[in-house]
Structure 1
Amino acid sequence: MISKPSAPPSAAPPARSVSVVIPALNEAARIAEVVAYALADPATAEVIVVDDSSIDATAELARTAGARVITSSMLGKGASMHDGCLAAEQEVLVYLDGDLTGLQPGIVTALATPVLSGCADFVKARFGRGGGRVTELTAKPMLKVFFPELAEFAQPLGGLIAARRSLLRSLSFEDGYGVDIGLLIDAHRVGGRLVEVDIGRIEHDSQPLLDLSLMATEVARVIFARARAAGRLHVEQITAMYESQRQAAGSIDYILTRRRGRSRLLLLDMDGTVSEQRFVMALAQATGRERELAALLDQPGDDAVTRSAAIAALFRFVTRQQFEQVARALPLRPGAIEWVNQMRRAGFMVGLVSDSWFVAADVVRRRLFADFALAHVLQFDGEVCNGQLNINPAFRAPLGSNGPALCKSHVLTRFREEPSEPRITEIWAMGDNLNDLEMLRAADRAFVIDPKHPHLARDADALKVDSFLALAHRALDAEPAA
């Protein structure tokens, strides 16, 4: 059974009924704070710090803070987690990381309550920040293909876990970075009841780039091994996994991990803005589908989703190579590359936001040297389009919103609501047509180029510009806002 409540059951768990296990390697900077935090929780009966033979004062500081400290049987987080499980005196365990900060009160209780109340056997934490690069580009796409029933877990690689000791002792603990994803999959495969609990916002130390590469390799190895053991590893699924990973690069969650401290954002429409020609029309010309496309475009009563789905189906059986060739040949407006570079040098994160398809928008994005592209996703079987369209969730209205159901303006909302510091302080946007209007209105500074509606600049309160060349040579005050 898998469920993902946003909060644990309301009944208070028995006091002092949980063993908290903290694997630690050279965590002297924060270990005392994490131990004190765990001991302050009313559900905590003991705190065990499993020291991975640290060469700093981790063990001494943990012991002074009130933890029982044991030395791991071998190097590696998985071995430390397993050693802690064997040493624990309570039936319910909660694992915390030794480098956590910014914890809200009661996380041990929140994680343990579904297990203590009999609602779950294994609990994963959901926390405020989005998944990191390995989560978004490796773990989630692979889970989506091989274990789709687990694909909605927000932080499948997260180390904040609660579980029954008896369940954990029946599972295999991987030695390295794959331990957390391995436990999640194994707990599911043996029939454990899995729950995800929202614990608010936490902070970890970031991983060096080399460690991220090693982590991605290890996580992939573990998922492949579990898929093979479950009889789910087939050539067709490998192809589907790579397609899923390509699509993940166009998700808002992944893009937010690449902000790198930038607090200013420039969003550019693609069709009619950075390129005078619409991609879908160029593709229709290249594939002999102009007449069929014209018939679909001449349906004013269709809503945006219906029309988009019908146009996507028109290009069924077109190869990815054809899509990319047309995108590579799409003429860019003179000066567009120069202006994008100018804005990036001024500290802006620059993105392409398009009603078109990611397979094309990402090519154009790379031609512009922009940071990201957000667009809807066409599905490919192998390297051939199957005609199915997935609407990018970043374009959908948030729950309770009174705005349009599907709109580029919702992308701005996602960026502004992203809680990582520094927060987004200023957003610029550029478009050319009525489908850009709400995005332009929502921006702090808006521009229109070659407008397709006579009153677009006025209605959007936007500056009309004649060309990117003109922008690139104007003093547009690219200094950070006060």
Structure 2
Amino acid sequence: MGQAAVSVLRHEEFPAAKLLEAKGEQRVSVVIPARDEEASVGAVVARVIADWVEAVALVDEVVVIDSDSVDATSRQAREAGATVYAAGQIRPDLGLAQGKGEALWKAMHVVRGDVLVFIDADLVEWGGHFVSGLLGPLLTDTDIQLVKAVYDRPMLAADGHEEEQGGRVTELVARPLIALHWPQLRGIVQPLSGEWAIRRRVLAELPMPTGYGVEIAALIDVAERFGSGAIAQVDLGRRAHRHHRHDTLGPMAVQVLAAAEARLGQHSAARPAEVVELVQYGPGTEDFAPRPRRVDIGERPPAASVPGYRGPAAGRVPT
């Protein structure tokens, strides 16, 4: 089998002047999904606004979708300059779900951009070039539909020191799935990277898992509709984020597997509120007491198929 025809570009290839010229009349939205990220979301928002709204007018809006935070995430984001929406207050007539994918799907009903850049809220070591790097291929090449980030990805423990490289769910779940079923995507370095960009009209036509399966679903769906050549990768250098406890990785893995299975036709996509029970066992108990967790593996239908979807100007309900 030949190598997958997906190139890796460098963020330095896309200087601001080049992007401003290529942008034309297109609108750009940076979307930051967040849940209980008061420690970092303000700095993320502030960096994007300083670099790409104030210093260079490349980004038209910075939007934070707050998913039921119980801390000061919304306040920190708003004070840093973002437009903040509570996920549950966006199109409540469509029902409620939880998860990262749900936040991104709800964003489709409120943001104005023709090009969407998704940035995680828990970044602690990164740069404003993440935005320009992800935008570059979309603004300069009309054949590109989706851009995925590539980076050195150390994990930080609670005290700030580096642990092993991140990407455990990638190595144990996503990459084996790709090897078995989508070999044309073998060249994707980080299929589950939380930093990516896509044309709005493309994403609006795709079903979206409500949880952590959203990244692999978009990757597979774009490849199957447009071919792997429609996907670009950009090396962004270094990205550090806080460590996820190992017991939180099980639900993530379930959601990635469910999204992949849906795309293999093993069950139908666009399941609005389906859950499965994942049973885990913690150390240090004599009877190995089970710890069940309900994991949402539902999917939202393509946003463009939803009655009342009006595209870039739809349903703005800031909190």
TM-score, with structure 1 as normaliser: 0.46
Q: Which residue matches 2:195?
A: 160
2:108 partner SS:
helix
Shift of 1:229: 6.7
Correspondence list, 1:286-325, <5 A: none
Separation in 1, partners of 2:48, 2:14: 20
Query: 1:24 touches 1:50 (CA, 8 Å); kept in 2?
Result: yes
Residue of structure 2 in register with 1:28 after alignment: 38
1:237-276 superposed matches below 5 A: none
Matched, 1:90 2:113: yes
1:131–1:155: 8 Å Cα contact kept in structure 2?
A: no
**Would you say 1:127 and 2:151 are equivalent positions?**
yes
Q: Deviations over 1:341-394 (max 9, x none)?
A: xxxxxxxxxxxxxxxxxxxxxxxxxxxxxxxxxxxxxxxxxxxxxxxxxxxxxx
Question: Given residue 128 of structure 1, which amino acid in structure 2 is its aligned partner?
Answer: D
Change (3 A) 1:17 1:109: farther
* Larger Rg belongs to: 1
Which of residues 198, 202, 213 is equivalent to 2:250? 213
What residue number does 1:107 align with? Answer: 130
Residue by residue over 1:261-320, the C-alpha shift from the partner in whole angstroms, topping out at 9 and shown as x without a partner, is: xxxxxxxxxxxxxxxxxxxxxxxxxxxxxxxxxxxxxxxxxxxxxxxxxxxxxxxxxxxx
Q: CA deviation at 1:85?
A: 2.4
Task: Tell me the SS of whatever aligns to 2:123.
Answer: coil
Check conservation: 1:2, 1:194, Cα contact below 8 A.
no
Structure with greater helix share of residues: 1
Aligned partner of 2:181 among 130, 143, 146: 146
Q: 1:131 to 1:2 in 2, by over 3 A?
A: farther
User: Which string of whole-angstrom CA distances, capped at 9 and with x for unpartnered residues, describes residues 391-438 of structure 1?
Assistant: xxxxxxxxxxxxxxxxxxxxxxxxxxxxxxxxxxxxxxxxxxxxxxxx
Describe the superposition over 1:426-458 as per-residue Cα deviations: whole angstroms up to 9, x where unpaired.
xxxxxxxxxxxxxxxxxxxxxxxxxxxxxxxxx
Q: Secondary structure at the match of 2:226?
A: coil
Identity of aligned residues (%): 36
Q: Residue in 2 aligned with 1:18?
A: 28
Q: Which amino acid aligns with 1:144?
A: A
2:75 is matched with 60
Q: 1:191 aligns with which of 204, 226, 236?
A: 226
SS of equivalent residue, structure 1 residue 37? helix
Change (3 A) 1:10 1:65: closer
2:290 maps to what in 1?
none
Mapped to 2, the partners of 1:2 and 1:152 lie a distance apart of 7
Give secondary structure in 2 for the equivalent of 1:186: helix
Q: 2: CA distance between counterparts of 1:229 and 1:213?
A: 21
TM-score by length of 2: 0.68
Deviation of 1:181 after TM superposition, in Å, equals 0.7
Partner of 1:48: 63
Does the Cα contact within 8 Å between 2:14 and 2:132 map onto a contact in 1?
Answer: no
2:83 counterpart letter in structure 1:
R
Q: How far, CA to CA, are the matches of 1:182 and 1:123 in structure 2?
A: 14
CA distance in 1, matches of 2:126, 2:204: 28
> 1:137 Cα deviation (Å)?
1.2
Equivalent residue for 2:140, pick from 101, 117, 122 = 117
What amino acid maps onto 1:37 in structure 2?
A: R
Distance apart, 1:151 and its partner CA: 1.9
CA 1:76 to 1:184, structure 2 compared with 1: closer, same or farther past 3 Å? same
| Equivalent position to 1:6, from 2, 9, 29 | 9
1:71 and 2:86 are equivalent in the alignment: yes
- Alpha-carbon displacement from aligned partner over 1:327-350 (angstroms, at most 9, x marks no partner): xxxxxxxxxxxxxxxxxxxxxxxx
Higher strand share: 2
Q: Which string of whole-angstrom CA distances, capped at 9 and with x for unpartnered residues, describes residues 47-101 of structure 1? A: 0000112111101111111100011133211110011122221211100000011
Compared CA separation, residues 131 and 209, structure 1 to 2 (3 A): closer
Instruction: Say yes or no: does 1:226 pair with 2:263.
Output: yes
| RMSD, aligned CA | 2.0
Q: The residue matched to 1:3 in structure 2 has which SS?
A: coil
Question: Which residue of structure 2 lines up, in the alignment, with residue 202 of structure 1?
Answer: 239
Q: Which amino acid in 2 is paired with 1:70?
A: Y
Deviation at 1:2, TM superposition (A): 5.1
CA distance in 1, matches of 2:141, 2:42: 32
How far residue 17 of structure 1 moved from its aligned partner, in angstroms, is: 4.1
Q: Give the residue type in structure 1 aligned to 2:171.
A: E
Q: 2:210 matched to which residue of 1? A: 175
Q: Is the 8 A contact 1:94 1:112 kept in 2?
A: yes
Task: Give secondary structure in 2 for the equivalent of 1:228.
Answer: coil
Structure 2 residue identity aligned to 1:169 = A
Contact 1:78 1:175 in 2 (8 A): yes
Aligned positions, number? 230
